[in-house]
Amino acid sequence: MTELKPPAGFIDTPHPPALGHDQLVTRVEEIVVERPLAQVMAAIAASEHADWIQEAGGLPGVKGTHVLTEHGAFDAPGSRHMVFLTDGSTIVEQVLEKVATPTEHRLRYVVWNYTSATAKPLRYGHAEFVYAALDERRTRIRWTYGFELRRDRFPGFLGPLGGPLLKAAFLNGPYAKWMRACLGHLKANAEAWKG
Protein backbone atom coordinates (compact mmCIF):
# COMPACT_ATOMS: atom_id res chain seq x y z
CA MET A 1 0.00 0.00 0.00
CA THR A 2 1.14 3.52 -0.67
CA GLU A 3 2.67 5.20 2.38
CA LEU A 4 1.38 8.76 2.51
CA LYS A 5 2.17 11.66 4.84
CA PRO A 6 -0.29 13.67 6.98
CA PRO A 7 -1.31 16.98 5.43
CA ALA A 8 0.46 20.18 6.48
CA GLY A 9 -0.95 21.53 9.73
CA PHE A 10 -2.24 18.14 10.96
CA ILE A 11 -2.23 17.90 14.76
CA ASP A 12 -2.43 14.41 16.26
CA THR A 13 -4.91 14.61 19.14
CA PRO A 14 -5.99 11.98 21.69
CA HIS A 15 -8.92 9.85 20.63
CA PRO A 16 -12.34 10.69 22.04
CA PRO A 17 -13.53 8.40 24.85
CA ALA A 18 -15.40 5.58 23.10
CA LEU A 19 -18.83 4.70 24.47
CA GLY A 20 -20.16 1.16 24.25
CA HIS A 21 -22.08 0.19 21.12
CA ASP A 22 -25.32 0.10 23.11
CA GLN A 23 -24.98 3.90 23.55
CA LEU A 24 -24.15 4.65 19.90
CA VAL A 25 -25.98 4.54 16.56
CA THR A 26 -24.84 1.07 15.51
CA ARG A 27 -24.77 -1.30 12.53
CA VAL A 28 -23.70 -4.97 12.61
CA GLU A 29 -22.80 -7.09 9.58
CA GLU A 30 -21.62 -10.70 9.48
CA ILE A 31 -20.18 -13.09 6.91
CA VAL A 32 -18.96 -16.70 7.01
CA VAL A 33 -15.61 -17.52 5.44
CA GLU A 34 -15.11 -21.08 4.26
CA ARG A 35 -11.66 -21.30 5.80
CA PRO A 36 -10.31 -22.06 9.29
CA LEU A 37 -9.70 -19.19 11.72
CA ALA A 38 -5.90 -19.47 11.50
CA GLN A 39 -5.98 -19.13 7.71
CA VAL A 40 -8.37 -16.17 7.86
CA MET A 41 -6.13 -14.36 10.33
CA ALA A 42 -3.00 -15.13 8.28
CA ALA A 43 -4.68 -13.80 5.12
CA ILE A 44 -5.71 -10.61 6.93
CA ALA A 45 -2.18 -10.13 8.32
CA ALA A 46 -0.77 -10.48 4.79
CA SER A 47 -3.23 -8.01 3.24
CA GLU A 48 -3.45 -4.24 3.12
CA HIS A 49 -6.54 -2.18 3.99
CA ALA A 50 -6.92 -1.27 0.31
CA ASP A 51 -7.25 -4.97 -0.58
CA TRP A 52 -10.67 -5.17 1.02
CA ILE A 53 -11.81 -1.66 2.00
CA GLN A 54 -12.90 -0.48 -1.43
CA GLU A 55 -15.46 1.99 -2.74
CA ALA A 56 -19.07 0.83 -2.38
CA GLY A 57 -22.47 2.34 -1.67
CA GLY A 58 -21.16 5.77 -2.66
CA LEU A 59 -18.54 5.63 0.12
CA PRO A 60 -14.77 5.70 -0.44
CA GLY A 61 -12.19 2.98 -0.16
CA VAL A 62 -8.68 3.15 1.26
CA LYS A 63 -5.82 4.61 -0.80
CA GLY A 64 -3.04 4.41 1.79
CA THR A 65 -2.03 4.83 5.44
CA HIS A 66 0.55 6.53 7.62
CA VAL A 67 1.45 5.16 11.06
CA LEU A 68 1.31 7.92 13.69
CA THR A 69 2.74 6.00 16.65
CA GLU A 70 6.31 4.87 17.27
CA HIS A 71 5.69 1.16 16.74
CA GLY A 72 5.68 0.62 13.01
CA ALA A 73 2.35 -1.16 12.58
CA PHE A 74 -1.33 -0.65 13.27
CA ASP A 75 -2.00 -3.73 15.37
CA ALA A 76 -1.26 -3.43 19.10
CA PRO A 77 -3.47 -1.50 21.55
CA GLY A 78 -2.47 2.15 21.41
CA SER A 79 -1.17 1.97 17.84
CA ARG A 80 -2.60 4.67 15.61
CA HIS A 81 -2.58 5.54 11.93
CA MET A 82 -4.01 8.03 9.48
CA VAL A 83 -6.05 6.50 6.67
CA PHE A 84 -6.17 8.23 3.28
CA LEU A 85 -9.43 7.57 1.46
CA THR A 86 -10.07 7.46 -2.27
CA ASP A 87 -12.24 10.60 -2.13
CA GLY A 88 -9.27 12.66 -0.86
CA SER A 89 -10.41 12.74 2.79
CA THR A 90 -8.65 11.26 5.83
CA ILE A 91 -9.51 9.67 9.16
CA VAL A 92 -7.46 8.63 12.19
CA GLU A 93 -7.84 5.19 13.79
CA GLN A 94 -6.46 3.78 17.05
CA VAL A 95 -6.53 0.21 18.31
CA LEU A 96 -8.26 0.02 21.70
CA GLU A 97 -8.13 -3.73 22.27
CA LYS A 98 -6.74 -6.81 20.55
CA VAL A 99 -7.44 -10.27 21.96
CA ALA A 100 -6.59 -13.65 20.43
CA THR A 101 -7.56 -17.12 21.64
CA PRO A 102 -7.51 -20.42 19.71
CA THR A 103 -11.18 -19.98 18.80
CA GLU A 104 -11.66 -16.20 18.57
CA HIS A 105 -9.80 -13.05 17.62
CA ARG A 106 -11.16 -9.61 18.49
CA LEU A 107 -10.02 -6.14 17.41
CA ARG A 108 -11.68 -3.01 18.79
CA TYR A 109 -10.76 0.44 17.51
CA VAL A 110 -11.89 4.06 17.46
CA VAL A 111 -12.12 6.31 14.37
CA TRP A 112 -12.16 10.12 14.48
CA ASN A 113 -10.77 13.29 12.91
CA TYR A 114 -12.90 12.88 9.77
CA THR A 115 -12.15 15.41 7.03
CA SER A 116 -14.95 14.35 4.65
CA ALA A 117 -18.00 16.63 4.42
CA THR A 118 -20.18 13.50 4.53
CA ALA A 119 -18.80 12.66 7.99
CA LYS A 120 -19.18 16.15 9.50
CA PRO A 121 -22.19 15.06 11.65
CA LEU A 122 -20.01 12.36 13.29
CA ARG A 123 -17.94 12.93 16.43
CA TYR A 124 -16.30 9.51 16.20
CA GLY A 125 -16.84 5.87 15.29
CA HIS A 126 -16.27 2.86 17.52
CA ALA A 127 -15.78 -0.43 15.66
CA GLU A 128 -15.07 -4.05 16.46
CA PHE A 129 -14.16 -7.11 14.42
CA VAL A 130 -14.80 -10.52 15.97
CA TYR A 131 -13.41 -13.51 14.07
CA ALA A 132 -14.86 -16.72 15.54
CA ALA A 133 -14.14 -20.32 14.56
CA LEU A 134 -17.45 -22.03 13.77
CA ASP A 135 -15.67 -25.35 13.29
CA GLU A 136 -12.30 -26.53 11.92
CA ARG A 137 -13.02 -25.17 8.44
CA ARG A 138 -15.32 -22.13 8.81
CA THR A 139 -14.94 -18.70 10.42
CA ARG A 140 -17.62 -16.10 11.14
CA ILE A 141 -16.60 -12.45 10.89
CA ARG A 142 -18.82 -10.03 12.80
CA TRP A 143 -18.20 -6.31 12.22
CA THR A 144 -19.90 -3.83 14.54
CA TYR A 145 -19.70 -0.11 13.80
CA GLY A 146 -21.23 2.57 16.02
CA PHE A 147 -21.19 6.36 15.78
CA GLU A 148 -21.60 9.22 18.21
CA LEU A 149 -23.16 12.27 16.62
CA ARG A 150 -22.00 15.85 17.05
CA ARG A 151 -24.67 17.68 19.04
CA ASP A 152 -24.08 20.96 17.19
CA ARG A 153 -24.89 19.58 13.72
CA PHE A 154 -27.81 17.93 11.97
CA PRO A 155 -29.06 15.35 12.84
CA GLY A 156 -27.31 15.36 16.24
CA PHE A 157 -28.89 18.65 17.34
CA LEU A 158 -32.29 16.91 17.17
CA GLY A 159 -31.38 15.02 20.36
CA PRO A 160 -32.98 11.57 20.61
CA LEU A 161 -34.38 11.84 17.05
CA GLY A 162 -30.91 12.26 15.53
CA GLY A 163 -29.79 8.65 15.97
CA PRO A 164 -32.83 7.04 14.28
CA LEU A 165 -32.51 9.52 11.39
CA LEU A 166 -28.82 8.68 10.91
CA LYS A 167 -29.61 4.97 11.07
CA ALA A 168 -32.46 5.16 8.54
CA ALA A 169 -30.72 7.47 6.06
CA PHE A 170 -27.11 6.31 6.32
CA LEU A 171 -26.37 3.19 8.37
CA ASN A 172 -29.18 1.09 6.89
CA GLY A 173 -28.46 2.39 3.37
CA PRO A 174 -25.07 3.39 1.96
CA TYR A 175 -23.09 2.32 5.03
CA ALA A 176 -24.68 -1.14 5.11
CA LYS A 177 -23.79 -1.62 1.42
CA TRP A 178 -20.23 -0.48 2.08
CA MET A 179 -19.79 -2.79 5.09
CA ARG A 180 -21.19 -5.80 3.18
CA ALA A 181 -18.94 -5.09 0.20
CA CYS A 182 -15.86 -4.81 2.45
CA LEU A 183 -16.71 -8.10 4.17
CA GLY A 184 -17.25 -9.70 0.75
CA HIS A 185 -13.74 -8.62 -0.32
CA LEU A 186 -12.32 -9.86 2.98
CA LYS A 187 -14.01 -13.26 2.47
CA ALA A 188 -12.81 -13.54 -1.13
CA ASN A 189 -9.23 -12.63 -0.16
CA ALA A 190 -9.17 -15.11 2.74
CA GLU A 191 -10.65 -17.94 0.68
CA ALA A 192 -8.18 -17.32 -2.19
CA TRP A 193 -5.15 -16.89 0.10
CA LYS A 194 -2.47 -19.57 -0.43
CA GLY A 195 0.06 -18.48 2.19
In a domain, residue 145? The reply is yes
Collapsing DSSP to helix, strand or coil, 124 comes out as strand
- Say if CB 133 and CB 14 are below 8 A apart: no
Q: Say which residue, 36 or 157, is predicted with more confidence.
A: 36
**CATH code where residue 62 lies:** 3.30.530.20
> What's the confidence (pLDDT) of residue 1?
47
Helices (H), 102-153: none
Please state whether beta strands 2-3 and 62-67 pair in parallel, antiparallel, or not at all (unpaired).
Answer: parallel
pLDDT at 48: 86
Number of folded domains that form the chain: 1
Confidence of residue 3 (pLDDT cuts 50, 70, 90): low
**Domain presence at residue 122:** yes
Cβ-based burial of 178 (10 A; exposed 0-12, middle 13-18, buried ≥19): buried
For 46-65, the pLDDT digits (tens) are: 988 888 899 898 999 999 99
Looking at the domain assignment, is residue 133 inside a domain? yes
Domain span at 178? 23-192
Q: Beta strand 139-149 with 25-33: parallel, antiparallel or unpaired?
A: antiparallel
pLDDT at 149: 94
Task: Establish if 5 belongs to a structural domain.
Answer: no
Give a yes or no: residue 30 inside a domain. yes
Inform me whether the pLDDT recorded for 2 exceeds 60. Answer: no
The whole-number pLDDT of residue 50 equals 83
Residues 6+ apart with CB under 8 A from 7: 90
